């Protein structure tokens, strides 16, 4: 038997930027949810006191593309929160039963109605404070027949000197584009990986943050 | 308003190999769960008919290491299901608030009480039928003071010709080790990525499976 820190724990879950409180066990319907270390585990989880179901929460993958056309890349202006009105590369949450490339291609189609041929994986950025891992792929636009999807206000092709550097939606997008244009000058695109550390307003890029091992 | 395909939908969720049915909304406690396309979305989700909360499910990252010592790698014999008694590289589900490297290092410590220095990301394998993405890192053991953790029966160092090739736990581990020993002969370790397609008994490695875009 494991103890319960509090009879009524209101857990905040976030999905697609919308957070909601978790008040009931989704298996048996009990309101007796605990935040406790389950038997045989080494860290606290949400556990139902009534039926003992353990609820695991894990990081999510955000997959996207750097859709290239000559010396430009395709950017989208966000029509949704978070960061409505700011610019991004097409990217979004990977869905079940997909591969990372399929997710990146699908997001590019959904957000910009654009078709791409993926070249290779280019960036892997961890964002531990939001429990996300960004995986961005270099890709070539197969044609110029693109247009804003439901989640975009507009989209267009931007050279390095035309990128709205001060109006990018997320630090991951900023650092992906910075690496991309740097590497393009050299004609070599090694895998770029790193950690985005800090909160949304003061995010710092680090090749590897100081490891936090419990 | 969105329709409900069935008044009583029993959803199977799997966490840590344990599956349980989801019968109640974890937000409001209602049993009126639907499998339906939420407004503004393009694919079916689990949605509560009473409070309209949408429940998203996404792939999970499995992070691990290829812990190297001279011409050997550290393998663990699994003490847990699935694949109890079969051999694996230390790897497991990434936790929230971690980076992928931290997850890989933690799993190596938990499963083999082994300390490593991570070299770089080496494999990214998608397993769409289990909605997992494996990310395995090359790493160097810092000492030989390792021992089986709670989830391992034993662990030890294996040269290529000593690897129990027929008793490996997962196709991802098999293909990671095959690539690793191939690449070590050439002294060059490019990022290896691909898809594991099929079920657990007949898994095929493909550089990229035929894209399944709806």
Span A50-72, pLDDT tens digits: 999 999 999 999 999 999 999 99
Contact A208 B101 (CB under 8 A): yes
The nearest CA of chain B is from the CA of A93 a distance in Å of: 8
CA dist B212 and A121 (Å) reads 19
- Residues of chain B by 3-state class (helix, strand, coil), percent to 5: 15, 40, 45
- Alpha-carbon gap, residue A73 to A158, rounded angstroms: 5
Residues A184-213 pLDDT 10s:
999 999 999 999 998 556 888 999 997 554
B152-158/B72-78 β-pairing: antiparallel
Contact A208 B60 (CB under 8 A): no
A210: left (phi over 0), alpha (psi -120 to 50) or beta: beta
Query: What sign does the dihedral B119-B120-B125-B131 (CA atoms) show?
Result: positive
**Pairwise CB contact (< 8 Å): B105 & A23:** no
Residue B163 per-residue DSSP state: S
Distances (CA, A) of B168 to A87, B89, B147: 46, 9, 19
A contact test, residue of B94, B96, B113 with most A CBs within 10 A: B96
CATH code for the domain defined by B60-205: 3.90.79.10
Q: Note the pLDDT of residue B212.
A: 55
The residues spanned by each domain of chain A are: 11-55, 60-206
Q: Given this model, what pLDDT does residue B211 score?
A: 59
Give the least confident one: A40-44, A177-181, A190-194: A40-44
**How confident is residue A19, by pLDDT bands cut at 50, 70 and 90?**
low
Kindly report the nearest CA distance between residue A190 and chain B, in angstroms: 9
Q: Please judge whether B22 and A25 are an interchain contact, meaning their C-beta atoms are less than 8 angstroms apart.
A: no
Q: Which residue has the higher pLDDT, B20 or A17?
A: B20
ipTM: 0.91
pTM of structure: 0.92
Least confident of A17-21, A27-31, B121-125: A17-21
Counting one residue from chain A and one from chain B, the pairs whose CB atoms sit within 8 A come to 155
Residue of A nearest to B95 (CA): A58
How far, in Å, CA of A16 to CA of B142, rounded? Answer: 41
- What is the Cα–Cα distance from B81 to A199, expressed in whole angstroms? 38
Q: Which residues of A touch B60 (CB under 8 A)?
A: 58
**pLDDT confidence band for B53 (50 / 70 / 90):** very high
Spell out which residues of chain A touch residue B129, defining contact as CB-CB under 8 Å: 97
Query: What band does B54 get if pLDDT is binned at 50, 70 and 90?
Result: very high
Q: What is the pLDDT of residues A108-157, one digit of tens each?
A: 999 999 999 999 999 999 999 999 999 999 999 999 999 999 999 999 99
Residues of A with Cβ-Cβ distance to B150 under 8 angstroms = 40
Q: What is the pLDDT of residues B75-102, one digit of tens each?
A: 999 999 999 999 999 999 999 999 999 9
Higher pLDDT, A170 or A13: A170
- Return the CATH number of the domain spanning residue range A60-206: 3.90.79.10
Strands (E), A57-163: 60-69, 72-78, 87-88, 91-93, 116-127, 132-141, 152-158
Question: Shortest CB distance from B208 goes to which of A13, A101, A133?
Answer: A101
Q: What CATH class has A11-55?
A: mainly beta
Q: A189 Cβ partners below 8 Å, 6+ apart?
A: A120, A122, A138, A180, A183
d(CA B114, CA B105): 9
> What angle (nearest 5°) sits at the alpha carbon of residue B138, between those of residues B134 and B139?
125
Q: How many residues does chain B have?
A: 214
Beta strands B91-93; B60-69: pairing state: antiparallel
Please give the DSSP secondary-structure letter assigned to residue A176: H
* Nearest residue of A to residue B126, measured between CA atoms: A99
A78-107 pLDDT tens trace: 999 999 999 999 999 999 999 999 999 999
> Which residues of chain B have a CB within 8 Å of the CB of A135?
124
Q: HSE of B72 in the Cβ direction (CA atoms, 13 Å)? A: 12
pLDDT exceeds 80 at position A14? no
pLDDT reading at A11 higher than 90: no
Which residue in A54, A57, A56 sits closest to A25, CA to CA?
Answer: A54
Nearest CA in chain B to A98: B128
């Amino acid at each position: 038997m494991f103890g319960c820190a509090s009879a009524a724990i209101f857990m905040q879950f976030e999905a697609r930027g919308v957070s909601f409180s978790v008040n009931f066990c989704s298996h048996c319907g009990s309101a007796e949810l605990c935040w406790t270390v389950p038997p045989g585990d080494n860290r606290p989880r949400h556990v139902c006191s009534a039926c003992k179901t353990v609820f695991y929460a894990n990081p999510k993958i955000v997959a996207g593309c750097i859709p290239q056309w000559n010396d430009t890349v395709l950017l989208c202006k966000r029509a949704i929160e978070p960061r409505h009105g700011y610019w991004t590369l097409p990217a979004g949450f990977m869905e079940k039963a997909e591969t990372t490339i399929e997710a990146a291609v699908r997001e590019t189609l959904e957000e910009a109605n654009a078709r791409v041929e993926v070249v290779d994986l280019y960036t892997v950025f961890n964002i531990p404070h939001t429990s996300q891992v960004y995986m961005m792929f270099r890709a070539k636009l197969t044609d110029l027949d693109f247009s804003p999807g439901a989640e975009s206000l507009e989209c267009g092709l931007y050279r390095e000197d035309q990128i709205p550097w001060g109006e990018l939606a997320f630090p991951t997008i900023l650092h992906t584009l910075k690496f991309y244009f740097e590497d393009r000058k050299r004609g070599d695109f090694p895998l770029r990986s790193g950690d985005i550390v800090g909160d949304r307003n003061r995010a710092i890029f680090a090749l590897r943050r100081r490891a936090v091992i419990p």
